[in-house]
Amino acid sequence: MSRLSRPRRLLISALGLAGFIALWEVSLRAGLLPGNLVPLPSTIPGVFWAEIADGIWFEVVRSSLSHYAVGVAIGSLLGITVGVGAALVPTFNALHAWLARLLRPIPPLAWIPFAIIWFGVNPTAAAFIISIGVFWINYFTSYSAVRSVDPGYDEVAIAFGQQRFVDRLAKVSLPAAAPGILGGLRAGLGQGWMTVVAAELFGIPGIGQRMMEASGLLATDIVVVYMLTIAGLYALFDALFMVVQRRMLRWQP
Amino acid sequence: MATLSDTPLQDDASSAVLRAQGVSLGFSGTTILQGVDLEVQPREFVAVVGASGVGKSTLLRALAGLIAPRRGEVEIPAGNSPDTRAWSMVFQAPRLFPWRRVRANVELGLEGLSLSRAQRRERALEPLALVGLDDYAERWPHTLSGGQQQRVGIARALAVRPRVLFMDEPFSALDAITRRRLQNELVDLRRRSDAAIVFVTHDIEEAVLLADRVLVLGGGKDDTPAGMRDVIDVALPKEERREHPGFAECVQRIEGLIGTSAANDAP
């Protein structure tokens, strides 16, 4: 199999996307797809503009972003802390190993009842749901990242007088595991978007709630506008994170 | 014990920088090495040789205190200088921290000593210049060759101005040309460092080339742990040892001491 040159690859990818949208448009116009269930692609930019002009777009994106930011921040911080702690402190690891195994398979959305009971139908509940999924991703990746650090580095640290736990944590475990930990953070940023919409479906203002309203009115075009909004925000956050990640890992070959 | 040294050492026990007595080593129930006594004087270079698996590297770690010996005692008298460490180590693989630049790697052992940031920097650049890599101070380790990385490893160990420098087969992972160059550099370096060196190698020629004394380990068989075969004083001039007629003789003598186990290794 021959490899494609970069411009050629980009061109073909763009053609693939354009072809998909064209096929979608044509199928609707030809009556091959039911127009009341699927929006016309060509109407989407106009609807998008209307949402922005009404101020609705900014309003819902702002609320969703605030749930997202709080949920991702708390989930990441706790996930990394507990994961790194479990990897470095055998007693702590053993202490919570079964509890983790028990809780891990529970999907974040299964926590919605408790979220409502504990926090009510408000942004805190949404942030809580989001943080759960993000927590597990960061917990497992940072745990295995720290576990797979070459023990030879620890020996070097000890041989050069850095025996204290905090010194080894800051000078060996965290920097050596950084590639894995950052990978988990990045996956968590994606996971956060997956739960943000679901967490808002039960009435907390945000993108998810707006999508539910729209679907109730069969306004499929508005639903698609917000689907694309999520895709765009995810791409933006991911790109920004990649810049930070590349900078932090510039020591890698 | 043969005593033909051309560099008379003070056999004053009180001045020793390392004292080991009756050291035995082992893993889970089995003793692999026993009865090692060693006293290292300031600036002395002691090589430890023996067949592979005899426990050379383990012995080195026990001498450094990185692992506890099964029996026996090791003492490295602490210095009273707050900006040096009693010992440091050069490992077989350079084991630089890839996330630190070369200079920061060399500074590792200086962190926690009473030195200002500027002093640390200065103390790191000094040994880097000694190994000829001061121009590489701000490079990342992966941009260096294997030989350069091991030079940084040596600079890192020298930066703490140790009284005992442990070297665990530091050149064995390098190609023959680089190895020989670093061996010559080490001979040179000794004149500019006050550290005593304990150097583990499986290469007898290397041991005879570099050391004042060679501690020969061997004799382990099935159930009997290995032990000290002898301590040979290398009675050769420090310069151009390889060309000295006594060089081959000394190497042969040590080969004979390692004896059967080395012969068994041959195909």
Candidates B85, B92, B39; CA nearest to B213 is B39
What tens digit of pLDDT does each residue of A118-157 get? 999 999 999 999 999 999 999 999 999 999 999 999 999 9
Contact A39, A214 (CB under 8 A): no
Name chain B contacts of A159, Cβ cutoff 8 Å. Answer: 64, 66, 88-89, 91
Mean pLDDT of all residues in B150-170: 94
Higher pLDDT, A136 or B81: A136
Distance from CA of B8 to the nearest CA of A (A): 31
Examine residue B236 and state whether it is found in any structural domain, yes or no. Answer: yes
The whole-chain average pLDDT of chain A stands at: 93
Q: Round to whole Å and give the CA distance between B60 and A159.
A: 12
- List, as one string, the DSSP characters of chain B: -----SSPPP--GGG-SEEEEEEEEEETTEEEEEEEEEEE-TT-EEEEE--TTSSHHHHHHHHHTSS--SEEEEE-PPPS-TTS-SEEEE-SS----TTS-HHHHHHGGGTTSS--HHHHHHHHHHHHHHTT-GGGTTS-GGGS-HHHHHHHHHHHHHHT--SEEEEESTTTTS-HHHHHHHHHHHHHHHTT---EEEEE-S-HHHHHHH-SEEEEEE--BTTBPEEEEEEEE--S-SSSTTTSHHHHHHHHHHHHHHTHHHHHH--
Whether residue B267 is found in the same domain as residue B168: yes
Among the partner-chain residues A152, A159, A176, the one whose CB lies closest to the CB of B99 is A176
pLDDT-above-70 percentage for chain A: 100
Whether residue B105 is found in the same domain as residue B4: no
Which helix (H) or strand (E) covers residue A30, if one does?
Answer: none
Among the partner-chain residues B64, B95, B160, the one whose CB lies closest to the CB of A152 is B95
Given an 8 Å threshold on Cβ–Cβ distance, is B99 in contact with A152? no
Torsion angles phi and psi, residue B30, rounded to 5: -105, 130
The answer to which of A74-78, B59-63, B127-131, B219-223 has the lowest mean pLDDT is: B219-223
Given an 8 Å threshold on Cβ–Cβ distance, is B113 in contact with A156? no
Whether residue B177 is found in the same domain as residue B70: yes
Whether residue B173 is found in the same domain as residue B142: no
Supply the pLDDT for residue A30: 92
Examine residue B248 and state whether it is found in any structural domain, yes or no. Answer: yes
Helix axes A44-53, A220-248, angle to 10 degrees: 80
Given an 8 Å threshold on Cβ–Cβ distance, is B142 in contact with A155? no
pLDDT at B2 over 50: no
B26 burial level (CB within 10 Å; 0-12, 13-18, 19+) = middle
Residue ending a domain, among B114, B130, B162, is B162
Lookup: tokens for A35? 């127009």
Give which of B108, B113, B149 to mutate to test A binding, by max A Cβ within 10 Å: B108
The tally of CA atoms less than 13 A away on the side-chain side of residue A33 is 14
Among the partner-chain residues B93, B101, B112, the one whose CB lies closest to the CB of A162 is B112
Examine residue B87 and state whether it is found in any structural domain, yes or no. Answer: no
Q: What is the DSSP letter of A109?
A: G
Mean pLDDT of all residues in A20-38: 91
How would residue A23 be classed by pLDDT, with cut points 50, 70 and 90? very high
How would residue B235 be classed by pLDDT, with cut points 50, 70 and 90? confident
Given an 8 Å threshold on Cβ–Cβ distance, is B89 in contact with A159? yes
Q: Round to whole Å and give the CA distance between A214 and B30.
A: 74
pLDDT at B264 over 80: no
Distance from CA of A252 to the nearest CA of B (A): 7
Q: Round to whole Å and give the CA distance between A205 and A111.
A: 18
By DSSP bridging, strand B18-27 and strand B71-75 are: antiparallel
Supply the pLDDT for residue A123: 92
When divided into structural domains, chain B yields a total of 2
Given an 8 Å threshold on Cβ–Cβ distance, is B112 in contact with A161? yes
Classify domain A46-248 by CATH architecture: Orthogonal Bundle (1.10)
Torsion angles phi and psi, residue A132, rounded to 5: -65, -50
Whether residue B107 is found in the same domain as residue B237: no
The answer to which of A106-110, B13-17, B22-26 has the lowest mean pLDDT is: B13-17
Candidates B101, B89, B84; CA nearest to B136 is B101
Chain A residue closest to B109 (CA)?
A160
Domain range enclosing B169: 1-79+163-267
CB-based contact, B173 to chain A, within 8 Å: no
pLDDT at B33 over 90: no
Give which of A150, A154, A155, A160 to mutate to test B binding, by max B Cβ within 10 Å: A160
Output Rg (C-alpha) for chain B, integer angstroms: 18
pLDDT at B6 over 80: no
Q: What number of residues does chain A have?
A: 253
pLDDT-above-70 percentage for chain B: 92
pLDDT at B98 over 70: yes
How would residue A1 be classed by pLDDT, with cut points 50, 70 and 90? low
Match 């009865």 to its residue by tokens: B35
Candidates A193, A173, A181; CA nearest to A126 is A193
Whether residue B195 is found in the same domain as residue B256: yes
pLDDT at B151 over 50: yes
Contact B87, B241 (CB under 8 A): no
A44: left (phi over 0), alpha (psi -120 to 50) or beta: alpha
Whether residue B67 is found in the same domain as residue B10: yes
pLDDT at A209 over 70: yes
Torsion angles phi and psi, residue B172, rounded to 5: -70, -20
Q: What number of residues does chain B have?
A: 267
Match 């064995």 to its residue by tokens: B172
Residues of A near B (CB-CB distance < 8 A)? 152-153, 155-162, 167, 171-172, 175-176, 178, 250-253
Non-local (6+) Cβ contacts of A215 within 8 A are A223
How would residue A205 be classed by pLDDT, with cut points 50, 70 and 90? very high
Distance from CA of A85 to the nearest CA of B (A): 21
By DSSP bridging, strand B226-233 and strand B30-40 are: parallel
Torsion angles phi and psi, residue B165, rounded to 5: -110, 115
How would residue A198 be classed by pLDDT, with cut points 50, 70 and 90? confident
Given an 8 Å threshold on Cβ–Cβ distance, is A159 in contact with B64? yes
Lookup: tokens for B24? 């035995």
Non-local (6+) Cβ contacts of B71 within 8 A are B22, B23, B24, B34
What tens digit of pLDDT does each residue of B167-187 get? 999 998 888 888 888 898 898
pLDDT-above-90 percentage for chain B: 53
Task: Tally A–B CB contacts below 8 A.
Answer: 57
Distance from CA of A177 to the nearest CA of B (A): 10
How would residue B7 be classed by pLDDT, with cut points 50, 70 and 90? very low
Supply the pLDDT for residue B9: 47
Higher pLDDT, A95 or B259: A95
Supply the pLDDT for residue B266: 42
Given an 8 Å threshold on Cβ–Cβ distance, is A157 in contact with B66? no
Mean pLDDT of all residues in B218-240: 82
The pTM is what?
0.84
The whole-chain average pLDDT of chain B stands at: 87
Whether residue B257 is found in the same domain as residue B150: no
Residue ending a domain, among B138, B162, B186, is B162
Q: Round to whole Å and give the CA distance between A192 and B220.
A: 61
Mean pLDDT of all residues in B130-158: 94
Residue ending a domain, among B162, B185, B207, is B162
Whether residue B46 is found in the same domain as residue B176: yes
How would residue B5 be classed by pLDDT, with cut points 50, 70 and 90? very low
Cα-based distances in Å from B219 to A10, B51, B128, B203: 68, 9, 40, 17
Distance from CA of B140 to the nearest CA of A (A): 6
Cα-based distances in Å from A148 to A167, B63, B190: 18, 28, 38
pLDDT at A12 over 70: yes
Residues linked to residue B23 through DSSP beta bridges, in sequence order: B36
Examine residue B86 and state whether it is found in any structural domain, yes or no. Answer: no
Whether residue B7 is found in the same domain as residue B129: no
Give which of B92, B99, B164 to mutate to test A binding, by max A Cβ within 10 Å: B99
- What is the ipTM for the molecules in this complex? 0.86
Q: Domains of chain A: which residue ranges?
A: 1-30, 46-248
pLDDT at B79 over 90: no
